[in-house]
Structure 1
Amino acid sequence: MAIDYQKTARELVKELGGNDNISNVTHCATRLRFILKDESIVNKERVAKIQGVITTVQAGGQFQVVIGNHVKDAYQFVTELVTVDENADSTRNKKVGIVSRIIDVISAIFAPFLYTLAACGILQGILGVLVALNAIDTTGGTYQILNFISWTAFTFLPVLISVTASKKFKVNTYIAVVIACALVCPDYIAMVNAGDPVHFLGIKVQLLSYTSSVIPIILSIWVASYVQRFFEKYLPIVIRNLFTPMFTIAIMVPLTLLAFGPIGNAVGGAIGGIYNTLYNLNPIIAGIVVGGLWEVLVIFGVHWGITPVTVGNYANLGYDTFTGLQASAVFSQAGAAFGVFLKTKDKELKGVSASAALTGFFGITEPAIYGVNLRLKKPMICGCIAGAVGGAVGGAFRAVSWGYNMPGIATLPAYFKAGHATQFIGLLLSILVAFVLGTVLTIIVGFEDNASDNTANDSENSEADIEADNENAAAKITNAVPSALSAPVTGNVIPVNQVKDEAFASEAMGKGVGIQPENGKVYAPFDGSIDAVFPTGHLVGMSDVNGTQILIHIGIDTVKLEGRGFELKVAQGDKVKKGDLLVEFDKNLLEKEGYDSTVMFIVSDPTKNVNVHEGRKEAVKDCAFEII
């Protein structure tokens, strides 16, 4: 059955605290990456149960929701429901370690254009195959044009990085691009090639090539963010727009050439040198470590840390050994998922594992990891063991990738180069061993198959069990909250589609009413429990004994008051009776500061319809709407 990702997006936004709690959202190959104002109000288990969601991960100051191949569909629908704050920073004002901060920066910078880099890498591989087959003339125009196209993304990599880094570090994008272009400008490259001494204000410039470089431009844009803010703060407004870019560019390009460029080159070279030294000590052990542990790094969301190393290897060496070993880890998890498909008798699990194995075969392993292997535990371990063995094979043959790519069956041409057939054969053997061993180990070791458990449970159901279920159902009906829900606040009731908040008016958050309050006292409309309270006091979520959930949202955009004028009377988990005071708010303060004080009172389930009782209603006493 096809998944409705529009519904997935609606439920995600609701469970993550709504538009008020979502500062920003981006996506990578398989994950939605949310920046939330308060992660503590989110129930991870409920988010993970939403149809279309594979699992959730909290890392690097982000709340990550793993979707899989359809992440772009979900992202499109989510962005229609939330107002994105481009200035939101996932690590700002959050206590996260330096490693998490670095990984957050790397993922934010590289994720948007990784597929573009990979496409160029695959094109390089295809050209290599055609050359080996004598199917293309390397002196002809066709080859030469395709060849320089395949290298363009790497040659101008600093420019690509400057675009995404400018968004991460809050720099004017055009200023950042000009700084990057200066580093790969033909005139500067001519200086580098000439080798003649060059001085700037009497200081000798170390002439280095910055094409395909990574760390120098990241450092440059980071420092540029402070330079830009300095001039924006102190320059008179009449000249600020013109002279802020001029001063920032005129200062940062020379500073990069004199300091940050050489420092960045040295740091990048050192990091790459450490990895390559360890690899050369024993490629087989390196293969065991990378093949066995790579997908574990993916689980914790820290796999982005290796990206500068691999990109640097392509720039400095013309190839990368890490990707050659990483391929085994990818295919081993796909193999483990395929083993689950072959062994399970559960129809639903068989369908999920088949799909996960197929997507893993093409390089996207999150569905296999989160949807199948990690959930069943033993297949995950089998996959890691198989990946380690496959990695050892790859290391023994010194398998490498000649063009940037994300390992998968479609990117195999990136591992081929004329004159290096042995390494390519080793790569093929390593992924074959990893896939087959992952499959076989999973079948042999096994896992808990829900199909057999379900069959046993079904056969053990007695008449007493059925009677007990019927009694419980009857009790639920007896104790159910009436479909007529009382107004939580005294005021004029209007249909929710008439309120001045687009997220609520669109009924994406659910159906209900808006109440134009006469005072600032909000009461419980029924007996139930408090499921969620926003720290600022403007939002309360409740549910009844049957699980019917309602949301009370006080005012429009009042989250910006950061709690001023609100006094919470309840906490998450509290049990309340109809008429208990939930929140007191200063209606006059809200309106004085220009906020609409309308209280949104809705049923969180978007499939429920309501019959609105318009007009003035007394809190607790009068009906605001009926659920129909």
Structure 2
Amino acid sequence: MAKKDYTDLAKTIIENVGGPENINSLIHCITRLRFYLKDESIANTEVLTATDGVIDVRQAQGQYQVVIGNAVADVYDAVIKALGPEFADPEATAAAVAATGGPADTGDKTIWDHIKGGTNSLIGVITGSMSPVIGVLAASGIIKGLLALLTLPQLGSLLDAKSVPYMTISAMADASFFFLPVIVGFSAARKIGGDPIVAAVIGAFLTYPQIVDWGRSFKEMFAIGGFNFQFLNYTYSIFPIILAAWIAKKLEDWLKAHLPNYLQMIFTPLITILIVSTITIIVTGPIIQGLANGIANVITWLVSVSGWVGGLIIGGFYQVLVIFGLHWGVVPLVAQQISANGASPLNAIVSTTMVAQGAAVLAVAIKSRKAGVKELGFAAAISAFCGVTEPAIYGVNLRFRKVFISGLMGSAVGGFITGLMHGNMYGFTGALIGFPSFFDPKNPTDLNSFYAFLISSLAAILVSFILTWVWGYNDEMAMTEKKAPKKLAA
């Protein structure tokens, strides 16, 4: 099958975001082109939302987000080809992020403007750092789940957990999690305009075997006034390396401004690696890792203690975050839960919300006699069942608002059951395609989480589908026109 040509769509998008002269930089996540524009007010949102190939437009986090769907990477390539590679330059993106989040810097910024700008920048950095990594983590999670499935006695223990094939394939899946600081460090540095290789080396230092061994045993580095500084284990971690990449970027900029050119090639990375690595293991790493573990543990505790209450609330409202692209803030918390406890009850609940929105749009596709709605609905349902709900939400569900509400009700029921059964996920991939993530690699015979997945997913599908069918949709309903959204306040 020939690859689809997105040249015309790219030209339309560029023209209606204000042309190349209005674009500072451009990145993309799983479904959205995320523009940093000089002036969002001149973008022609109404034309874009009515353009074939564009699902919707959102303005949030200081970004002008054009929702494309699963073809976003191809559309991004076409846009960059039309604009020129300088618009994908990390330094330009970093400058745009830094300038995002408030009125022009005329000296009249309020404290709120600075807070807003800082919040937008933080969310932008987390989004840009994690977006390229999610696919790899999802794939690794599926591999781990399938391995656990193959070791089940109920299936005849098709694979021995101590066999060479098992351990080899398990190492392939574990690599992305174990060396997460290396991958995220590289990605974060690219996002903020730093040196990706230097950031990756700092991440490699954090996962160096000797450092990991010392971290697991909390070996003491030194003591000051009775306060012991200890090594920590940073495998599977995200936040410490993101901050390290930011500090490295600031230090690199200072060194480039003060070192002679003939010294920069060697001494800039030398000084940066030494100083930032030391700061990370002594100061910022322990503080951030402690806070991150604390937040992850609190969420885990709340979900486990509240059970159905936490599941009902998170399940009922999570997909609302997706509307504004704020769900990316949850990803590091899921990673931290898996890092700290080996499992994420939060992600188990989130999984049911994807299934519910997929079931809602599937009901529309089956019930409708309109060819266009059917085609869009079936494609969006497949995407949602594979863990990406934006095509369903923007393409159909939000435009028939009762459909979206039906999906929320279904996901609330699914979350309720997941919380009630104390379901866990042991990987990142959710929705129906993520079923292997509900097998515990350390205890494959414990099927509680898998049963929670089956029952909650079935309930979410039935509730969302039936509500949409009898209440949420009929062909006489007018599809709400895609309108320019109000800009989300940070």
TM-score by length of 1: 0.69
Contact 1:136 1:143 in 2 (8 A): yes
On the 8 A contact 1:402/1:415 being kept in 2, the answer is yes
Contact 2:300 2:344 in 1 (8 A): no
Counterpart of 1:80 in 2: which secondary structure?
A: helix
* Residue equivalent to 1:189: 212
Contact 1:376 1:448 in 2 (8 A): no
Shift, 1:235, TM fit: 1.4
Partner of 2:143: 123
| Structure 1 equivalent of residue 21 of structure 2 | 20
Instruction: Please tell me whether the aligned partners of residues 314 and 412 of structure 2 are also in contact (alpha carbons under 8 angstroms).
Output: yes
1:114-159 per-position Cα deviation (integer Å, ceiling 9, x unaligned): 0001111111000000000300112211111111221111110000
1:445 aligned to 2:471?
Answer: yes
Structure 1 residue 302, shift from structure 2 partner: 0.5
Which string of whole-angstrom CA distances, capped at 9 and with x for unpartnered residues, describes residues 363-386 of structure 1?
Answer: 221111011010011111111111
Alignment partner of 1:216 is 2:236: no
Q: TM-score, with normalisation over the residues of structure 2? A: 0.87
**One-letter identity of the residue aligned with 2:475:** D
Higher relative contact order (CA 8 A, sep 6+): 2
- The structure with the larger Rg is 1
Q: Determine the C-alpha separation between the residues in 2 that align with 1:193 and 1:390.
A: 37
Are 1:110 and 2:130 counterparts?
yes
Aligned position for 2:69:
68
Q: Which runs of 5+ in 2 are unaligned?
A: 103-115, 480-490
Once the 2 structures are TM-superposed, how far is the Cα of residue 21 of structure 1 from its aligned partner? 1.9
Q: Say if 2:119 is the partner of 1:92.
A: no
The verdict on how the C-alpha distance between 1:243 and 1:397 changes in structure 2, with shifts beyond 3 A counting, is same
Aligned position for 1:420:
446
Report the residue type matching 1:150 in the other structure: A
Amino acid at match of 2:291: V
CA–CA distance in structure 1, aligned partners of residues 310 and 276 of structure 2: 39
- Secondary structure, aligned partner of 1:198: strand
- The answer to whether 1:435 aligns with 2:461 is yes
Q: Describe the superposition over 1:54-79 as per-residue Cα deviations: whole angstroms up to 9, x where unpaired.
A: 00111111111111111122112111
| Preserved CA contact (<8 Å) 2:198 2:269 | yes
SS at match of 2:301: helix
Sequence identity of aligned pairs in percent? 33
> Match for residue 551 of structure 1?
none
In structure 1, how many angstroms separate the alpha carbons of the residues matched to 2:219 and 2:471? 66
Letter of the structure 2 residue corresponding to residue 374 of structure 1:
L
| 1:450-471 CA-partner distances (Å, limit 9, x unpaired) | 5899xxxxxxxxxxxxxxxxxx
In the alignment, which of 222, 227, 231 is matched to residue 255 of structure 2? Answer: 231
Deviation of the 1:99 alpha carbon: 3.6
- Give 2:212's aligned amino acid: I
The question of whether the paired residues in 1 share the 8 Å contact of 2:361 and 2:378 is answered with yes
Displacement after TM superposition at 1:195 (Å): 5.5
Candidates 172, 187, 191, aligned match of 1:149: 172
Report the Cα offset of residue 34 of structure 1.
Answer: 1.5
Distance 2:275 2:449 in 1: 47
Distance 2:292 2:67 in 1: 31
In the comparison of the two structures, how many residue pairs are matched? Answer: 451
Higher-strand-fraction structure? 1
In the aligned structure 2, how far is the partner of 1:256 from the partner of 1:446? 52
> CA contact under 8 A between 2:58 and 2:324: conserved in structure 1?
yes
Amino acid at match of 1:174: I
Within-5 A mapping of 1:249-264: 249-264=273-288
Aligned partner of 2:59 in structure 1 is 58
Deviation at 1:448, TM superposition (A): 6.0
Q: Give 3-state SS (helix, strand or coil) of 1:139's partner.
A: coil
Distance 1:208 1:196 in 2: 8
Asked if structure 2 preserves the Cα contact closer than 8 Å seen for 1:216 and 1:256, the reply is yes
1:342 counterpart SS class:
helix
Mean Cα deviation higher: 231-240 or 323-332: 231-240
Change (3 A) 1:242 1:297: same
Which amino acid is 2:382 matched to? L
Segment drifting more, 396-405 vs 94-103: 94-103
CA distance in 2: counterparts of 1:194 and 1:281, whole angstroms: 30
Partners of 1:413 and 1:68 lie apart in 2 by 25
